[in-house]
Structure formats: C-alpha cells, structure tokens
Amino acid sequence: MSSSPHVETRTSAPKAALVVDADPQIESLLTSILKPGQWTITHAPDNKAALKQAESRAFDLILTSEKTSGRDDVELLRRLRRARPHTRLIILADESTPSDVIESVREHAFSYFTKPFSLDALGDMIRIATEGPCWDDGIEILSATPEWIRVMARCEVNTADRLLQFLNEIADLPNEEKHAVALASREILLNAIEHGGKLDPSKYVEISYVRARHMVACRVTDPGEGFTLDEIPHASIANPADDPIRHVTHRAAQGMRPGGFGVMLAKHLVDELIYSEKGNEALLVKYLDVTWSRPD
C-alpha cells in the first residue's frame, strides 16, 4: 500500500522593518499594521545605530524618529542609499524646511511627515509602503526651489498620494488654504493619472507647483490626448441641467469606479481652474489673503 506523496509547503520569510526611537503611539500604529508572522520589527536608539544596522542587513521599511530634524534624517537617507538603494524610508521629523523636504525627494525618501502630523495619514502611508514586491520610486524632480517645483510622477494612485504628501510638507500656507489646495490638486492629479495616463505605470504626468507671495498655483500635464469638459460623460461637471446624475449611469456601464465629482469639487476649492486648449493640462490657482504672508 503506497503512502500519499509528501507535499512540501513553503512560507515566505517575514519582511523586516527598522524603527528609530519610536514613541508609544508610533509603536502601537506599527504593530497594528505590520502583522506578526508577516513582519519583524527591529528598533534602533538613534540614526547612527540605525545606519549601522541597515548596512549589516536589509530592511524593507525604515521609519526615522519624530524627535530628529529633517536635515539629520536626510543625511541618514543619503548614507543609506549607498548600501541599500531600494529601502523604503519614511521620514518623521520634529522640524524641517522646504529645502529639507526637496532634498528628501531627490534622495528618494518614500514619504515625509513633520510634527504635528496625523497618525491616520501616517498609517495610510505605511500601508502604501508595504504594498508591492519591489520599488523604484516613481517621482523624479526636474527642478526645484521652495517657491517653484517641477516633478514627473508615474501614473499610479499610490505615487500620487506620495507626491501630494511631499508637496503638503513644502507648502507654506494657512491651514484652510493648504487643505483646499491639497484636496483640489489630488482630484486633478488623479484625473490626469486615471484618464490621461490610463493608470499605465510606464507613463508619467508632470506637476509644477508655484508659491508666490499671495498666490499658489499647481499645473498638471498628463500624457493623454486631451478633452473638453463637454466630452467627459464620466464626470459630473458635464451633466446636463435636466439630468444631474447622468455620469453615474455612464460610469456603471463602463465598469468605472464610483466617483466623477473631482473636477466639480476642485472648482469649488480653488479660485480658478483653467484647462489648456488641448485639455490635457490643468492650472489650479488659489489666491491668499493679502493680510497673510509667509513667516520670515
């Protein structure tokens, strides 16, 4: 009587995260996201120890301490890249400057948060960082100063969310205007990635962010053929007056995700939303209160 053949089951090795001097809230957040058995979490007391550990073994994710400065963490990132060019590193900083954030993008940080930051937003970014088997960034700086930034971003939703977090850290705006610009920019950028770039990771959108004294502008250019607002039946802004939800039926018939309110929402959040003649470029403009200006 023959026995049943032995079937060898293989389990993938858990991924590894390195955390620098985490406080209890960050530690709790990490353990709720990085499940035991799937992840191991190692701790380092400071950046010097973190670099030594990262040089001796590979980590899939590194979080810096929110007690350090952005400049210190960018230096850690710069040194880390020599030994571990593809490690996803999220910077948590007690203080930083727009120049620090720009340098972190140049050195391919995965994301950047300055205190005070939302734990929910950080949790979402950690989840994005844990997705996918490999990573080759997807954000390329064409030119950058704190007042004028030009970047290329791969046509992926996660890349858009990462880019907008960097821009949110750079933006020196009152809280209400910062929220409005961030939300409007996200809607237009996602439209460019989804409809212009067709969610094709081999294609890129170009984003320019300009901060003038009493105005902020964001220009998004996608690789698509363009459109006019009356030729986008998937968007609520093209609905006729007698059929305010026509786009819902169209999206369902085309198998598209629920939505279609992005352009309309953006128009209400900024002062001007201007499309180019071809329709594959959008310019968002938000005017600032003349009584407010950037701190010196």
Tell me the CATH number at 121: 3.40.50.2300
Strand order in the sheet with 281-287: 139-145, 148-154, 204-212, 215-221, 281-287, 272-275
Q: Do residues 152 and 140 lie in contact, with contact meaning Cβ atoms separated by under 8 Å?
A: yes
CB 83, CB 50: distance < 8 Å: no
CA triplet 199, 200, 204: central angle to 5 degrees? 95
Per the structure, the count of domains in the chain is 2
Going by pLDDT thresholds of 50, 70 and 90, the confidence category of residue 233 is low
As a whole number of angstroms, the distance between CA 63 and CA 70 comes to 12
Containing domain of residue 296, as a range? 138-296
In a domain, 1, yes or no: no
DSSP assignment, residue 112?
E
- Domain end call among 136, 163, 187: 136
Closest to 153 (Cα-Cα) out of 167, 143, 141: 141
Last residue of a domain, one of 84, 104, 136: 136
Structure tokens at 116: 């005070």
Supply angle C-alpha 160, 129, 259, rounded to 5.
40
- Residue 63 or 292, more confident: 63
Q: How far apart are the first and last CA of the chain?
A: 86
| pTM of the complete model | 0.83
With bands split at pLDDT 50, 70 and 90, how would you rate the model's confidence at 293?
A: low
Cis peptide before 146 (omega within 30 of 0): no
Segment 61-93, tens digit of pLDDT:
999 999 999 999 999 999 999 999 889 999 999
Does residue 60 surpass a pLDDT of 70? yes
Q: Are residues 144 and 35 in the same domain?
A: no
Whether 61 and 161 share a structural domain: no
Per-residue pLDDT of 107-162, as tens digits, reads 999 999 999 999 999 999 999 999 866 677 899 999 999 999 999 999 999 999 99
- Checking 257-264 for CB contacts under 8 A at 24+ apart, the result is 260/234, 260/235, 260/236, 261/235, 261/236, 262/187, 262/188, 262/190, 262/191, 262/235, 263/187, 263/188, 263/191, 263/229, 263/232, 263/235, 263/236, 263/237, 264/235, 264/236, 264/237
- In DSSP terms, 111 is beta-bridged to 90
The 10s digit of each residue's pLDDT in 8-57 is 444 578 999 999 998 999 999 999 999 989 999 999 999 999 999 999 99
Same domain, 254 and 150: yes
In this predicted structure, the answer to whether residue 218 has a pLDDT above a threshold of 90 is: yes
Q: Are 288 and 215 in contact (CB under 8 A)?
A: yes
C-alpha span between 68 and 45 (Å, rounded): 12
* Whether residues 171 and 80 fall in one domain: no
Burial class (CB in 10 A: 0-12, 13-18, 19+), 228: exposed
| 86 shares its domain with 175 | no
Q: Is beta strand 15-20 parallel, antiparallel or unpaired with respect to 39-44?
A: parallel
